[in-house]
Copies of this chain bind each other. A is one copy, B any other.
Amino acid sequence: MSSEVHVKNIGLRGVTVADSAISFIDGEKGVLIYRGYRIEDLADNSSYMETVYLLLHGTLPTIEQEQRFVEKVKAARQVPDFVYQSMKQWPADAEPMDILQAVVPMLSMADEYGDTFERGININRSIGLIAKLPTITAAWHRIRNGLEPLPPDESLDHAANFLWMLQGKKPDAATARELDICLVLHADHTFNASTFAAREVVSTRASLYAGVAAGLGALSGSLHGGANTKVMKMLLDLEGEPDVEAWVKDRLAQGHKVMGFGHAIYKTGDPRAVYLKKMGQRLGEQTGQNWFTLSEQVERATLAEFAQKGKTTILPNVDFMSATVYYMMGIPLDLMTPVFAISRVAGWCSHIIEEQFADAQEKPALYRPKAQYVGEYCGLMGCEYSPPEKRT
């Protein structure tokens, strides 16, 4: 029997709720580790496909293992036709995150493994979802613009193929590699809100699909995956602003937020932001667009304001940096959160499988916390039920 515990920390902040072997964060030192490896080493040397293998299987693949894995993912990119037929019925102004949330349960309907609940089969299901989220996102963008979805291109790797299906032209090598690194950087982040939601849902023995759909739902919130879009909207509003410094001062003075600053965990800087900043700079030079310069102005002005108030732990976060990177890659504003999902689905699936098959944990471990009742109370016999005509 577990003992009674009363946690006062709102939103379970700072509360350790389970064991996990997938990723590790040291927020003070700005370190993010996947399965033992620092995110910097993976960004510099690895690829998204290799990182997905690492997250799902726990070790880096040999050359043969990676080849087989990449082939399996490529073979799973296509989406059943009934999904496209359905998507063509949907309102063109639908939120892309709603599209993904609707399609994932539809992929469950087409699942070839029935009720089978085994680690190996859930890895195959994961491969299916990791392979298909880019296809669905790109297809939706085509369909809402009255175009036919483009088929995946076997000759292109994961990131390049997504840009191809989305834009109908093959990206240059540097941009494709940078998007691949973005996917590496966003692939996992311990028990963030969407990952915790995914684990919570499958703790009832719900399917991997149900877990991923819940992850998508949580990610769609503006405090989570929706943040980079908000940053870009702010920058678009700011375009042509003659005095960025004054704008920032004014905004903060009025009690508003500058989007993309601060993190629940990182207090000395986000290790992922460093990479994204470099990409932003390069993409600015390549495209001739001034978004990176503008974001740097906002960053400088905001940090200066915070410094004056002694707030030195509120730094630009990953969303602040990814906004301009994705925008200059030609990713539409409302597809930025889906791109986050295209990466994070690897983390969700790894966590779902860990939740489902962890040997060390007591079973069943269904999440079922308690609430402190603070409502109407007339004792255990209940309040008197008055007939409708006597109510006012």
Contact = CB atoms under 8 A, between A and B. Distances in A.
A7 interface: yes
A210 interface: yes
Given A17-B369, A62-B388, A29 B200 contact: no
A382 B26 contact: no
Interface string A155-197: 0000000000000000000000000000000000011111011
A220 B191 contact: no
Contacts of A38: 381-382
Given A41-B382, A98-B109, A391 B62 contact: yes
Contacts of A221: 201-206, 210, 366
A197 to B, nearest CB: 5
B219 A197 contact: no
B12 A376 contact: no
A19 to B, nearest CB: 5
Contacts of A222: 204-205
A220 B226 contact: no
Contacts of A35: 375-376
Nearest to A46: B385
Contacts of A7: 5, 7, 15-17
B17 A371 contact: yes
Interface string A1-20: 01111111111111111111
Contacts of A364: 11, 223
B193 A218 contact: no
A95 interface: yes
A147 interface: no
A201 B218 contact: yes
Contacts of A211: 217
Residue of A38, A190, A204, A375 ringed by the most chain B CB atoms within 10 A: A204
Residue of A91, A385, A392 ringed by the most chain B CB atoms within 10 A: A385
Contacts of A193: 200-201, 203-204, 366-368
A24 B223 contact: no
Interface of A: 2-24, 26, 29, 31, 33, 35-38, 40-42, 45-46, 50, 58-63, 66, 82, 85-86, 89-91, 94-95, 97-99, 101-103, 105-106, 108-110, 190-194, 196-197, 200-207, 209-211, 213-214, 216-226, 264, 360-362, 364-378, 380-383, 385-389, 391-392
20 contacts: A13-B369, A21-B375, A42-B385, A60-B386, A61-B388, A61-B391, A62-B391, A63-B391, A82-B90, A90-B109, A191-B370, A196-B369, A202-B221, A203-B221, A204-B222, A205-B224, A206-B221, A207-B220, A213-B214, A221-B366
Sorted from nearest, which 6 A-B pairs have the closest CB atoms?
A204-B221, A21-B375, A36-B376, A38-B382, A210-B217, A206-B221
